[in-house]
């Protein structure tokens, strides 16, 4: 667990004492103003950030003690070289490999602890609007003067935009642009290798329930973007908000490739699903398991997923290029 016996300026200590009084007294909490700009500098050198909720966030100096809520945000910070600044994470965070060493767990499936976060004396909290994190943490953090940056990672473009945004927050925008450029170059290399290819029809399964229905990805989602970048054509390219599909719809679409977002199990298990034996992907042994962490965490490792998936979908192209 993190060592919280740090020495802080008297003003900061006073703010935290005020927080404790405010928290347990249940005082009214105020909302922050909104802005339409992405980021800018005020004359006092304070960075003005507009986050994913349209809130204007003021950051006086590059943060050194960050609480990162959700794996995606931790992976973004790690990619930017800011892992050492992270003092608190949530319980499902597993990457980078040693991220849990010496860091405080501030919440998990059952919610998040305002008190635990406050004890860490953070100068920034980064989160995504999921699992009630915003409803639980936003107002208390505002009360004690801790900036909260809420980020959306709905697609690949937003992942890159958030890397740029965090680069400015961390005080190193040039490094962030370099990281983004490297990631985009890797995607471009895959695109060049796949130029002019025929895209196989693909069903990407993210889960299933006991009622015989399955969940997949929809257009505009970062996983859908990764599929396209890897040279796939989704059998459900008309899905908008709904991600639940029936087995009958999958059978009717007859995908050439089936991808199962799992880290364990047997891909041959789909052969035992009623009616799936005649799907092209099953008949041709083109059912593959893909790591959930590369496709279902919206961070830089989605690019790793694209690089892994492209050879699965187009083995002839990549074998030939490797031999050349």
- Tell me what the mean pLDDT of segment 292-314 comes to: 97
Instruction: Indicate the pLDDT class of residue 109, thresholds 50, 70 and 90.
Output: confident
* CATH number of the structural domain 192-323: 3.40.50.1980
pLDDT at 110: 86
| pTM for this prediction | 0.84
pLDDT at 44: 61
pLDDT at 6 over 90: no
- Tell me what the mean pLDDT of segment 57-62 comes to: 93
- Tell me what the mean pLDDT of segment 104-131 comes to: 94
pLDDT at 297 over 90: yes
Least confident of 22-31, 109-118, 180-189, 315-324: 22-31
pLDDT at 1 over 50: no
pLDDT at 116 over 60: yes
Higher pLDDT, 175 or 40: 175
Q: β-pairing, 124-127 with 213-215?
A: unpaired
The pLDDT > 70 percentage for the chain reads 85
User: How are strands ordered across the β-sheet holding 213-215?
Assistant: 207-208, 213-215, 244-246
How far apart are the C-alpha atoms of 147 and 62, rounded to whole Å?
Answer: 11
H/E element, 173? helix 173-193
How far apart are the C-alpha atoms of 54 and 34, rounded to whole Å?
Answer: 6
- Tell me what the mean pLDDT of segment 104-116 comes to: 93
* Residues contacting 52, CB < 8 A, separation 6+: 128, 129, 150, 151, 152, 158
- Cβ atoms of 277 and 271 within 8 Å: the answer is yes
- Tell me what the mean pLDDT of segment 62-70 comes to: 97
Name the one residue in this structure whose structure tokens are 């709904």. Answer: 242
State pLDDT tens for residues 251-287.
999 999 999 999 988 999 999 999 999 999 999 999 9
How far apart are the C-alpha atoms of 229 and 157, rounded to whole Å?
Answer: 12
- Cβ atoms of 240 and 218 within 8 Å: the answer is yes
State pLDDT tens for residues 150-164.
999 999 999 999 999
pLDDT at 9 over 70: no
Least confident of 13-17, 55-59, 242-246: 13-17
| Domain assignments of the chain as residue spans, ordered by start | 10-151, 192-323
**Which token pair is 186?**
């890797």
State pLDDT tens for residues 119-147.
999 999 999 998 889 999 999 999 999 99
Higher pLDDT, 49 or 210: 49
Name the one residue in this structure whose structure tokens are 């680069």. Answer: 167
pLDDT at 211: 81
pLDDT at 10: 45
State pLDDT tens for residues 10-40.
444 444 444 444 443 333 333 333 333 366 6
pLDDT at 24: 39
Higher pLDDT, 35 or 197: 197
Give bridge partners of residue 201 from the DSSP assignment: 233
pLDDT at 131: 83
pLDDT at 7: 41
Name the one residue in this structure whose structure tokens are 């995606």. Answer: 72
Three-state secondary-structure class, residue 121: coil
Three-state secondary-structure class, residue 55: strand
Over the chain, what is the mean pLDDT? 87
Q: Would you say the CATH fold of 192-323 matches that of 10-151? A: yes
* Residues contacting 295, CB < 8 A, separation 6+: 204, 223, 226, 261, 302, 305
* CATH number of the structural domain 10-151: 3.40.50.1980
Three-state secondary-structure class, residue 267: helix
pLDDT at 175 over 50: yes
**Which token pair is 192?**
């060049």
How far apart are the C-alpha atoms of 256 and 11, rounded to whole Å?
Answer: 63
Q: Is the peptide bond before 323 cis (omega within 30 degrees of 0)?
A: no
Comparing C-alpha atoms, which of 39, 66, 58, 46 is closest to residue 125? Answer: 66
């Amino acid at each position: 667990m993190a060592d919280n016996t740090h020495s802080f300026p008297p003003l900061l200590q006073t703010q935290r004492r005020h927080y404790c009084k405010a928290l347990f007294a249940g005082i009214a909490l105020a909302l922050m103003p909104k802005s339409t700009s992405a980021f800018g500098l005020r004359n006092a050198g304070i960075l003005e950030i507009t986050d994913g909720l349209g809130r204007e966030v003021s950051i006086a100096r590059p943060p050194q003690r960050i609480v990162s809520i959700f794996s995606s945000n931790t992976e973004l910070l790690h990619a930017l070289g800011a892992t050492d600044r992270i003092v608190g994470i949530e319980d499902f965070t597993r990457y980078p490999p040693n991220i849990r060493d010496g860091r405080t767990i501030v919440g998990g499936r059952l919610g998040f602890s305002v008190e635990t976060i406050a004890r860490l004396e953070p100068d920034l909290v980064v989160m995504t609007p999921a699992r009630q994190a915003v409803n639980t943490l936003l107002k208390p953090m505002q009360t004690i003067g801790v900036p909260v940056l809420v980020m959306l990672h709905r697609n690949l473009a937003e992942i890159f935009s958030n890397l740029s945004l965090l680069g400015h927050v961390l005080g190193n925008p040039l490094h962030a642009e370099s990281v983004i450029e490297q990631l985009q170059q890797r995607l471009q290399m895959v695109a060049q290798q796949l130029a002019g290819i025929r895209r196989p029809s693909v069903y990407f399964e993210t889960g299933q329930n006991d009622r015989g229905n399955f969940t997949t990805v929809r257009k505009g989602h970062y996983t859908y973007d990764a599929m396209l970048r890897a040279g796939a054509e989704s059998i459900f390219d008309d899905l908008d908000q709904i991600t639940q599909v029936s087995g009958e719809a999958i059978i009717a679409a007859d995908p050439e490739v089936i991808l199962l977002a799992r880290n364990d199990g047997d891909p041959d298990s789909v052969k035992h699903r009623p009616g799936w034996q005649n799907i092209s992907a099953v008949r041709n042994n083109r059912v593959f398991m893909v790591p959930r962490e590369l496709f279902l965490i919206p961070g830089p490792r989605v690019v790793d997923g694209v690089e892994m998936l492209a050879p699965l979908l187009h083995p002839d192209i990549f074998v030939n290029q490797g031999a050349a």
